[in-house]
Amino acid sequence: MAKKLLLLVMLSIATLGAKAQELLCDVVVNSEQVQSTDRQLFTEMQNRIEELMNTQRWTNQSYTAEERIKCRILINLTEMPQIGMFRANVQVVSVRPAYGTGYESILFSFIDKDWTFEYTNAQLLQYADNNYSSNLTSMLAFYAYMIIGMDNDSFGKLGGGQAFDKARSVVNLASSQGTNYPGWKAFDSNRNRYWLIDNLQDPQFAQFREGIYKMHRQGLDVMAEDPEKARKTVLEVLQEVQRLNKQKPGSAIVRSFFDAKSDELLNMFKAAPPAAKQTAYSLLTEADPTNRTKYDQLLKR
């Protein structure tokens, strides 16, 4: 009887261990621009943010330790207008492995210039769905769901729907609290948290989301074994992104796409046959003129 009980306990522990949290998030807080005598506060802030991102169960999905989504949050504090209040520019990045290789593809990259939040010594960061506790936890929850949703979209067609629904709920709750924190409303900016989730839930962007799946599962995941097929699929995705960019110029999610993918796309087509290289160049420079100088390398022999 004792042996059976011990076996059940061991199986339970093994089962719990197999269901890891969704994110493996590295957090960096840069406080060089902020004048403060309490430098330990920033170390504590970094640790508390990282703890929330890495211990909170954001979904009911089961992840093994190896399946956790690698991501990074770079918080560049720019101002402390009063004790306990901070403003920051933040970059959020997540990566996804390419099947059968050691390569990690940047899947999501976004620079958020609208971080304003309160943080004090020994402050606990706690998040619960449908409950607003602070602007900081809301922003972290929003990006957790964005990261998970984009990752799910890359592995299954429109697979990120539930995570994006939760991101939308975070936006709605944060914008309805009567605060003046920026980034949650349409009129704050044309590239903020509101527009990121609005784009992803707009039916006109459904083909863009399907393109995320095609680019990764039918493109990057087969690149090692069939590069010609992979490039053909990626060109189809770029044609859709180009069409969408004409229809919805300046879209937040399209800008985010090229922030994440411009270097990868350049490297993918550098070794392509001339015809595919020229097609890629035309599509990329029209859809992403910001990086035209970078894409000019495709024309060099």
User: What does each of the 301 residues of the chain score in pLDDT, given as a tens digit?
Assistant: 443 443 333 334 334 444 689 999 999 999 999 988 888 999 999 999 999 999 999 999 989 999 999 999 999 999 999 999 999 999 999 999 999 899 999 999 999 999 999 999 889 899 999 999 999 999 999 999 999 999 999 999 999 999 999 999 999 999 998 678 999 999 999 999 999 999 999 999 999 999 999 999 999 999 999 999 999 999 999 999 999 999 999 999 999 999 999 999 999 999 999 999 999 999 999 999 999 999 999 998 7
Distance CA 289, CA 295 (A): 9
Token pair in block for residue 158: 């429109």
Collapsed DSSP state (helix, strand, coil) of residue 183: coil
Torsion of CA 203, 111, 138, 140, to 10 degrees: 110
**193, 139 contact by CB (below 8 A):** yes
Predicted confidence at residue 19, as pLDDT, reads 64
The pLDDT value recorded for residue 100 is 86
- The Cα diameter of the chain in Å comes to 74
Burial of residue 197 (CB within 10 Å: 0-12, 13-18, 19+) is buried
Look up residue 212 and give its amino acid.
I
What does the pLDDT read at residue 122? 83
What confidence score (pLDDT) does residue 246 get?
93
What pLDDT was estimated at residue 128?
95
Nearest residue to 124 via CA among 57, 49, 53: 49
Question: Which helix or strand (DSSP H or E) is residue 215 part of?
Answer: helix 206-217
Residue type, 53: M
| Block residue for tokens 């992403």 | 288
Burial of residue 227, with CB atoms counted within 10 A of its CB: 0-12 exposed, 13-18 middle, 19 or more buried = middle
